Amino acid sequence: MSTGGQATELWLLWKRAYETTRAAIIADMSAASGLSESELSVLVCLHESGGVLRQNAIAAVLGWDRTRLSHLLTRMEKRDYVARGKVGNGVEVTLRPAGRRTIDASVPALEVSTRRHLLDRLDPGDATTLKAIVERLLSEDSR
């Protein structure tokens, strides 16, 4: 039947589990706040940094392409979630009241949703192990 090797098999399983979990969390968050996944990511970034960040820094934290962020911020600016201002070389992104209200409401909802779809489905030991594993994957960046 399956001709995939060990590594492929693990990858496909991981992929499917991640995407299933992701879909569930996105659905929750979209219902709770009307935010898309990307918008939420950006707002969480800003929230955790006090509300102001260089566009550059956001892209780095999220591991995103500059272009993608630029397009997204253009859309978010229109909805008045954030403002952009030139700073020397680059651009500074600032959380605006509407964005702050939304993200303040979303952070607790996100914790509830991630707990329900992820943390509560794992044994306490597994949660610890999973965290260790992903941290190792992220740190061994001999990319």
Binding site for a copy of itself (CB under 8 A): 1-8, 10-25, 44, 47-49, 63, 107, 110-111, 114-115, 118-119, 121-122, 126-127, 129-138, 140, 143
97's contact among a copy of itself, DNA, none, with CB below 5 to 8 A by partner kind, is none
Question: Which tokens in the block code for residue 25?
Answer: 């969390």
**Based on CB atoms, which residue is closest to a copy of itself, 85 or 141?**
141
Q: How far is CA 56 from the centre of its chain?
A: 16
70's contact among a copy of itself, DNA, none, with CB below 5 to 8 A by partner kind, is DNA
**Based on CB atoms, which residue is closest to a copy of itself, 25 or 95?**
25
Which residues are at the interface with DNA (CB under 7 A)?
A: 36-39, 54-56, 59, 64-75, 84, 88-91
Q: Sheet with 90-95: list strands edge to edge.
A: 52-54, 90-95, 82-87
Which residues, including other chains, have CB under 8 Å from residue 94's CB and lie 6 or more apart? 51, 52, 82, 83, 84, 85
Residue 123 C-beta: closest distance to DNA, Å: 30
Cβ atoms of 29 and 37 within 8 Å: the answer is yes
**Based on CB atoms, which residue is closest to DNA, 93 or 110?**
93
66's contact among DNA, a copy of itself, none, with CB below 5 to 8 A by partner kind, is DNA
Distance CA 46, CA 99 (A): 10
Please list the alpha-helical segments (H only) found in the chain: 6-33, 37-48, 55-62, 66-78, 97-117, 124-139
**Based on CB atoms, which residue is closest to DNA, 87 or 130?**
87
